[in-house]
Amino acid sequence: MTMPKKSRPHSSSTAVVRTRIAPSPTGMPHIGTLYQALFDYAFAKRHKGSFLIRIEDTDQERSVQGAEEALYDAFDWLGIPEDESPRKGGSVGPYRQSERLDLYKQHALELVKKGHAYYCFCSKERLEEVRKQQSASKQVPMYDRHCLALVSEEIQTRLDAGEKPVIRMKIPQGEKIVCRDEVRGDIVFDSNLIDDQVLLKSDGFPTYHLAVVVDDHFMKISHIVRGEEWISSLPKHKLLYDWFGWDMPPMYHTPLLRNPDKSKMSKRHGHTSVVWYQEHGILPEALRNFLALLGWSHPKDAEIFSLDEFISSFDLKDLKAVGPIFDPAKLEWMNGEYIRMLPVEELAKRLQEYNEKFLKSVYSIELIHKTVPLVQTRLKTFQEYDGYCHFFIEAPRSFEKDLTAERDVIKSIAGVLEKFHEQEWQAEALGTRLQTYAEKQNIPFKSFFMTLRVALTGKKITPPLNESMEILGKEETLKRLK
C-alpha cells in the first residue's frame, strides 16, 4: 500500500453521532480496548450522540466464559458507560454477533448473487498445501481461486449433497483501491495483493470483515475508531460498502500503544490487563486522564483534567498517527496527583474498598481514617498503602537497620515514654519530650529518631513517626520497644 500526502481530514459530521466499541470475549479486558473506547465515548458525548458496545463473539472456539461480564465491569469501573449493548438493549439489537447470523448469511448470499463473492469447497488440507507451496516459492500467501471456475450446476450439486462451503470475496484484479483513514489521509492499495477473504465460514458464522461492515451499517454507526492493525483491512471493507451500495463512515485508526522501549504492548506484559491496574490501585479517573493523552493533546497543554473537560475539548480529527508511549511511571505520577486531590473521607472510603477486595491485610475503617492523613501526600498507588502502614496492624519481624548496638538507647526511650499519661499520648507532646531527651543525652536527632522508627516499624521510611506512635498507642509502643 502507498500513502499519498495527507489532505485535510473531514470535520465532525452534523448528523447524529453514533460510535461503538466491538470487542471479542476471548479473554479478560485489554487496556487497548479501554483506550479506544474512551475516544468513542468522549466523541459521542460531546455531540450528544450514543456510544454502543457490540460483542463480536463469532469465534466460538476462543470465547472465554465470563469475559463479557468482565468487560462490562471494566467499562463501569472506568466510568464510561455505554448507551446500548447486550446488557442494556437498544433499538438496533441484538448486540451479540452470534445472534445475528441470519443477517450475515443474507448479505453473503446477496454478494454471491451479484457476482462479488463465490462458494469455496476447498479443504483445510488443500489450503495449507497451497500456502506451503507459495511460501516455498516466496509468493504472497493467498487463496489461488481454485473454486472460482466452478460452474453453477456443479455448485448446486455439491450444495444439495450436503457439502458446506465457505463464501469468499471476489477481489477485482488490476485495480488501485483508494481508501481514507482520517488520521493518516488517503491510502492506495494494489488489489492484486489482496486475498479473496472468507466472508462466511462453513459453520454459518461470519468472519470479522463481513460482520463488522453489516453491523456498523445496520447499527447506524457514524464514526469508526479502531486500531491501526486494521488499516490493511480497509480495502476489503471499502469494497463491501461499495458492493452493498452503502456509505462508508469516516474511519479513524488509532496508533498502537507502545512500551517505553518502543516495543508494542502485548498480552505478554501484565500491564495490558485492566485487572492489573485495579489490583495495583490505579484510580479510574487517573487512568482515563492518562489514556486521553495517548495520541491526543489538550488544546491548552494541560496534563490533569476531568472527564467532562476532556469531552468538551476532544475531537477525532485531532488524533495523531505517531505511536504513543505508555509510560507506567507517568501514570503512577498522575495517579498520585489524583490521590492528593481526593478529600480525606473519600480517600479513606476508596482505600477501604480496595483493602477488602485486593489486600490480604485487614485494616479497620477506623485505622484507615487515622492513617490516611499521614500517607496521602506519599501514595502513588493504593497498593503502596500496605507497604507504608502494615506495621500498624502487625509488629515488625525484621528490621532494615541492625539495632543490636542501640539496645541501651531503645531502653532509655521506653523509660521516657512510660512516664506519659494516656491522656497526653499525642503526637506533638511525644515529639517535644523526645527531642528534649535526645538533646540532654547529646544524641543527634537523625540517629535518635531513626533508631526509634526502625524499632517500632522495622523500616527506615514510614509515615510521620510521632503521629504513628499516637495511633499505635502507649501500650503497643512500649511493647515493641521492650
Structure confidence by residue, pLDDT tens digits, 277-325: 999 999 999 999 999 999 999 999 999 999 999 999 999 999 999 889 9
The mean pLDDT value for 20-46 works out to 94
Place of cell 466510568: 79
Binding-site sequence positions for ATP = 267
At 210, list the grid cell.
463481513
| Interval 199-210: pLDDT, tens | 999 999 999 999
412 lies in the same domain as 459: yes
Q: Do 401 and 365 have their domain in common?
A: no
H/E stretch holding 48 reads: none
The residues annotated as belonging to the active site are 267
Q: Do residues 465 and 439 both lie within one domain?
A: yes
Pairing assessment for the beta strands 251-254 and 224-227 based on DSSP bridges:
parallel
Q: How far is CA 29 from CA 225, 226, 278, 286, 394, in A?
A: 18, 16, 12, 18, 36
Q: Say how many residues make up the chain.
A: 482
User: Same domain, yes or no, for 376 and 357?
Assistant: yes
Query: Does residue 414 sit in the same domain as residue 431?
Result: yes
pLDDT greater than 90 at residue 383: yes
User: What is the average per-residue pLDDT within 262-278?
Assistant: 78
User: What is the per-residue pLDDT across 159-177, written as a single tens digit (0 to 9) for each?
Assistant: 999 999 999 999 999 999 9
Q: Is it the case that residue 197 has pLDDT exceeding 90?
A: yes
On whether residue 199 sits in a domain, the answer given is no
Q: Are residues 474 and 414 located together in one domain of the fold?
A: yes
Per-chain mean pLDDT for the chain: 93
What CATH number should be reported for the domain holding residue 469? 1.10.10.350
* 173 in any annotated domain: no
Structure confidence by residue, pLDDT tens digits, 244-262: 999 999 999 998 888 888 8
| Closest of 385, 438, 383 to residue 412, by C-alpha | 438
251: cell is 474511519
pLDDT of residue 2: 55
Q: CB 48: neighbour CB atoms within 10 A? A: 8
Residue 193 in any domain: the answer is: no
Given this model, what pLDDT does residue 13 score? 43
- Averaged over 6-17, what is the pLDDT? 55
Structural domain containing residue 409? 397-481
Give a yes or no: residue 305 inside a domain: no
Q: Does residue 142 contact residue 89 with C-beta atoms inside 8 Å?
A: no
Q: Are 470 and 421 within one domain?
A: yes
End-of-domain residue from the set 359, 394, 429 = 394
Indicate whether 219 belongs to any domain.
Answer: no
Number of domains in the chain: 2
- The answer to whether residue 322 sits within a structural domain is no
457 and 406 assigned to the same domain: yes
Would 140 be classed as within a structural domain?
Answer: no
Same domain for 385 and 403, yes or no, is: no
Does one domain contain both 401 and 382? no
Give a yes or no: residue 352 inside a domain: yes
The CA distance from 40 to 36, in Å, is 6
> Is there a single domain that holds both residue 432 and residue 466?
yes
Of 378, 394, 410, the last residue of a domain is 394
Domain identity same for 415 and 469: yes
Residue 270 has pLDDT above 80, yes or no: no
Tell me what percent of the residues of the chain surpass a pLDDT of 70.
96
Annotated binding site: 267
pLDDT per position as a tens digit, 100-115: 999 999 999 999 999 9
